[in-house]
Amino acid sequence: MSEYELIALALEAKRNAYSPYSGFQVGAALLCADGRVFTGCNVENSSYSLTTCAERVALFSAVAQGARKFSAIAVVTDSEQPVFPCGACRQALAEFSPNMKVIAVGPKGVQTVVLEQLLPYPFARAHVVGSCEHGI
Ligand code: THU
């Protein structure tokens, strides 16, 4: 899967964005280490705080299908400045693959970073005392 193809899938996912409140559409495509791709869009709610970002929709869909290692995520918006995942999504993604590539795509171009650059000191499983024997 090329970067271009991943971006194309994120662009397609953006079409399903449910964003009647912000009007801001986001599409994400998450590439797994095994080659599978899971997509997501933002899903807003009249109870605003229940809104879920496109990145976490893609991530949770992937995890629900057994994927836990990711190599890249493409995030597409119509924003002039390419949009990187919000803080909550950075933390959620870092749980699984802190070294994944994050590809932010807007109408004016593409910007790529490593997730670690966006969230240098993530809260991690190792911090949760006694958790390592459970729920792995
Ligand atoms: N949003 C995302 O889906 N991903 C981001 O990285 C930033 C924000 C969504 C949430 C909400 O539906 C809309 O964008 C405006 O905040």
Asked if residue 54 has its Cβ within 6 Å of ligand 1, the reply is: yes
Instruction: Choose one of 15, 24, 55, 89 to mutate for the ligand 1 pocket test, by most ligand atoms within 8 angstroms of C-beta.
Output: 24
Query: Which active-site residues does the annotation give?
Result: 55
> Burial level of 128, CB count in 10 A (0-12/13-18/19+)?
exposed
> Per residue in 22-71, pLDDT tens?
999 999 999 999 999 999 999 999 999 999 999 999 999 999 999 999 99
Asked if residue 26 has its Cβ within 6 Å of ligand 1, the reply is: yes
> Per residue in 111-126, pLDDT tens?
999 999 999 999 999 9
Q: How far apart are CA 54 and CA 87, in angstroms?
A: 13
pLDDT > 90? residue 134: no
| Per-domain residue ranges of the chain | 3-133
Ligand 1 centre from 94 Cα, in Å?
18
CATH topology of domain 3-133: Cytidine Deaminase; domain 2 (3.40.140)
Based on its alpha-carbon atoms, the radius of gyration of the chain, rounded to whole angstroms, reads 15
pLDDT > 60? residue 5: yes
